[in-house]
C-alpha cells in the first residue's frame, strides 16, 4: 500500500507541464477545468478590449475634434497707434480692454505619418500577448488534472487487484478449513489466512478512501460534481517523436513579444514623420477678429498646418537600440526554452520506450508468479508449507500484476507528457 501512495504522489507531482454522466474522459476533465478557471471568458475580455482600443485609435486620429472654448479677459492696457497728433478728420481707434469670446475650435488630421496604423498594430499585439499568456497558465491546470486523473485510474486498478487477491485467499481459506478438520493443516495456517483477509480488507478501505479523496480533488479542479463511482476512460494518446516544440505556448508567446518589439520600433520611427492637419474655429466675440470694431461680431477661421520634427538629437536611434537589446534578450530566452523543452521531449521519449520494454516482459513475469502461487497453494493444501510461505508468493504475484498496471499507466502518462511538452 505504501508503494501505491508513493506512485500516486509521483503522478500528482509530475510536471507537464449539474452532472449525470457515468463515464468521464481526460479531455472532458481538462476542458471543464479550463471553463472552471474562466480562461475563455478572460480571453474574450482581452479580445473585446483589443477591439475597443482599435476603435479609440481610429476615432482619436481620424475623427474631427471639436472643442468649445469660451473665455473672458480684461487687461490694463491695449494697443495704441503712435500717430501724429491733431490729424484733421482722423480719430484714433479705441481697442477695448475686455475681450469676450465663445468659439468652437476644430482639428482634422489629413495625414498622420502612419502613426495611427502603427498604433493599431501595437494595441492588437499587446492584447494578443495577454491572451497568449492564458495558454501558458493553462499548462499548469492541465498537468494537475492529468495527475489526479491518472492517480484515480491507478487506485482503481489497485482496488480491483486487491479484491481479486481477497477472493483467492478466501477460496484458499475454505480449502484450509476443510483440511483442518482432518488434522492435515495447523491452526496457525488457518489463522494466518484469516489475518491476511482482514489485512486485504483494510488495504481496500484505505484505497477506496484515497480514491474518494482524489475524486473530490478532480471535482474541485473541474468545477463538476464527479461521483466517486464514475468510470474514468483510459486515455489512448498517440505520439510522433519529432522533437518539435514550436507549438509550445511559451515559444509562441516569445514570438509575439519579439514581433511586438518590431512594432514598437516602427512606432518610434513615425515620431519624425510629417503630419498635416486642417484646423479652424467658428463662433462669436466682443470684439471679433477686427479688434477696432467695438461690437459683438461673428468669428470664423480655417487653416492647414504641417509639422515635421526635423531633429531628434539621436533619441530615436537610442530608443530603437534599447528595443533591439530587449528583443535579443527575448530571443536568447526563447532559444534556452527551446533547448529545455527538446531535452524534456527526449527524456519523455526514453520513458515511453522504457515502459514499453517493461510491459513486454510483464505478462511473462505474471505467468511465472501465478504458476509459483498455484504450486505453493497445492503445497499449503498438503501441509508441506505454512500459510506465511503461501502468502509471500501470493503477494509477489500481486506485486507483479500491480507493476503491470503501473507500467501501463506510466506509459500513457509519458505519452501525455510528451504531447504536453510539444504544446499539443
What is the per-residue DSSP string for 30-89? HHHHHHHTTHHHHHHHHHHHHHHHHHHHHHHHHS-EEEEEEEEEE-S--------S--TT
Q: DSSP letter string over 237-253?
A: ---------TTSHHHHH
Residue 422 has pLDDT above 70, yes or no: yes
Element housing 23 (H / E): strand 23-24
Of 50, 224, 204, nearest in space to 149 by CA: 224
Look at residues 331, 323, 316, 344 and name the one whose alpha carbon lies nearest to residue 417: 344
Q: What is the rounded distance in angstroms from the CA atom of residue 388 to the CA atom of residue 394?
A: 10
How many angstroms separate the CA atoms of 409 and 17, rounded?
18
Burial class from Cβ neighbours inside 10 Å (0-12, 13-18, 19+) for residue 352 reads buried
What is the Cα–Cα distance from 278 to 65, expressed in whole angstroms?
11
Highest mean pLDDT among 79-88, 176-185, 262-271: 262-271
Q: What's the pLDDT tens digit per position in 32-65?
A: 999 999 999 999 999 999 999 999 999 988 999 9
Residues 365-416: tens digit of each pLDDT: 999 999 999 998 888 888 788 888 888 999 999 999 999 999 999 999 999 9
pLDDT band for 421, please (50, 70, 90 cuts): very high
C-alpha cell at 157: 486498478
Instruction: Name the grid cell of 48.
Output: 473585446
Which pLDDT band, with edges at 50, 70 and 90, does 183 fall under?
low
Query: What is the 3-class SS of 166-222, one letter each residue?
Result: HHHHHHHHHHHHHHHCCCCCCHHHHHHHHHHHHHHHHHHHHHHHHHHHHHHHHHHHH
CA angle 96, 100, 104 (to 5 degrees): 140
Q: Give Cβ neighbours of residue 167 (< 8 Å, ≥ 6 apart).
A: none
Short-list 365, 370, 361, 351, CA closest to 409: 351
Domains (range + CATH), the chain: 2-15+25-422 (1.20.1600.10)
**Residue 72 pairs with which residues in a beta bridge?**
100
Contacting residues for 325 by C-beta, under 8 A, at least 6 apart: none
Angle between helices 115-180 and 187-222 (to 10 degrees): 160
The pLDDT, as a whole number, for residue 33 is 96
CA torsion 404-409-412-416 (nearest 10°) is: -150
pTM for the whole structure: 0.81
Report the sign of the C-alpha dihedral through residues 393, 399, 405, 408, in that order. negative
Residue 329, strand partner residues? none
CA-to-CA distance for 231 and 149, rounded, in angstroms?
Answer: 11
The residue with cell 491476511 is 196
pLDDT over 50 at 1, yes or no: no
Question: What pLDDT was estimated at residue 174?
Answer: 85
pLDDT score of 187: 77
Alpha-carbon span 19 to 227, nearest angstrom: 9
Cα–Cα distance between 110 and 278 in angstroms, integer? 7
Contact present, 53 and 69 (Cβ < 8 Å): no
- Residue ranges of E strands in 86-171: 98-111
pLDDT at 89 over 70: no
Residue 296 to residue 99: CA distance in whole angstroms = 10
Q: What is the pLDDT of residues 243-299, one digit of tens each?
A: 899 999 999 999 999 999 999 999 998 888 999 999 999 999 999 988 888 889 999
Of the chain, the end-to-end C-alpha distance in Å amounts to 34
d(CA 191, CA 189): 6
Ranking 130-139, 177-186, 247-256, 313-322 by mean pLDDT, the lowest is 177-186
Amino acid at each position: 500500500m505504501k508503494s501505491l501512495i508513493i506512485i500516486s504522489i509521483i503522478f500528482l507531482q509530475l510536471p507537464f507541464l449539474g452532472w449525470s454522466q457515468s463515464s468521464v474522459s481526460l479531455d472532458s476533465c481538462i476542458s471543464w477545468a479550463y471553463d472552471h478557471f474562466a480562461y475563455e471568458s478572460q480571453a474574450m475580455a482581452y479580445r473585446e478590449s483589443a477591439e475597443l482600443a482599435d476603435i479609440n485609435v481610429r476615432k482619436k486620429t481620424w475623427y474631427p475634434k471639436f472643442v468649445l472654448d469660451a473665455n473672458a479677459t480684461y487687461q490694463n492696457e491695449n494697443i495704441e497707434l503712435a500717430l501724429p497728433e491733431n490729424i484733421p478728420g482722423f480719430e484714433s481707434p479705441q481697442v477695448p480692454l475686455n475681450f469676450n469670446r465663445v468659439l468652437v475650435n476644430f482639428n482634422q488630421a489629413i495625414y498622420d505619418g502612419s502613426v495611427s496604423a502603427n498604433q493599431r498594430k501595437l494595441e492588437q499585439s499587446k492584447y494578443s500577448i495577454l491572451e497568449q499568456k492564458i495558454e501558458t497558465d493553462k499548462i499548469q491546470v492541465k498537468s494537475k488534472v492529468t495527475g489526479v486523473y491518472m492517480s484515480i485510474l491507478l487506485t482503481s486498478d489497485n482496488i480491483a487487484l486487491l479484491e481479486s487477491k481477497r477472493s483467492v485467499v478466501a477460496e484458499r481459506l475454505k480449502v484450509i478449513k476443510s483440511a483442518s478438520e482432518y488434522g492435515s493443516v495447523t491452526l496457525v495456517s488457518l489463522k494466518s489466512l484469516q489475518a491476511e483477509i482482514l489485512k486485504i480488507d483494510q488495504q481496500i478501505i484505505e484505497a477506496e478512501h484515497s480514491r474518494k479523496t482524489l475524486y473530490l480533488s478532480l471535482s474541485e479542479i473541474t468545477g463538476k460534481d464527479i461521483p466517486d463511482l464514475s468510470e474514468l476512460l483510459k486515455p489512448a494518446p498517440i505520439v510522433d517523436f519529432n522533437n518539435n516544440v514550436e507549438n509550445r505556448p511559451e515559444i509562441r508567446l516569445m514570438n509575439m513579444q519579439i514581433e511586438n518589439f518590431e512594432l514598437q520600433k516602427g512606432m518610434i520611427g513615425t515620431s519624425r514623420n510629417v503630419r498635416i492637419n486642417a484646423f479652424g474655429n467658428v463662433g462669436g466675440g466682443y470684439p471679433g477678429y477686427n479688434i477696432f470694431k467695438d461690437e459683438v461680431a461673428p468669428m470664423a477661421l480655417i487653416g492647414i498646418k504641417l509639422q515635421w520634427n526635423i531633429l531628434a538629437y539621436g533619441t530615436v536611434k537610442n530608443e530603437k537600440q534599447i528595443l533591439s537589446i530587449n528583443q535579443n534578450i527575448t530571443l536568447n530566452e526563447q532559444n534556452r526554452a527551446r533547448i529545455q523543452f527538446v531535452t524534456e521531449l527526449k527524456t519523455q521519449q526514453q520513458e515511453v520506450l522504457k515502459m514499453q520494454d517493461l510491459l513486454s516482459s510483464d505478462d511473462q513475469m505474471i505467468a511465472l508468479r501465478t504458476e509459483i502461487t498455484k504450486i505453493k497453494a497445492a503445497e499449503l493444501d498438503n501441509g508441506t508449507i505454512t500459510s506465511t510461505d503461501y502468502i509471500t508468493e501470493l503477494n509477489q504475484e500481486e506485486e507483479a500484476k500491480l507493476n503491470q498496471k503501473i507500467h501501463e499507466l506510466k506509459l500513457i502518462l509519458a505519452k501525455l507528457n510528451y504531447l504536453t511538452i510539444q504544446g499539443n
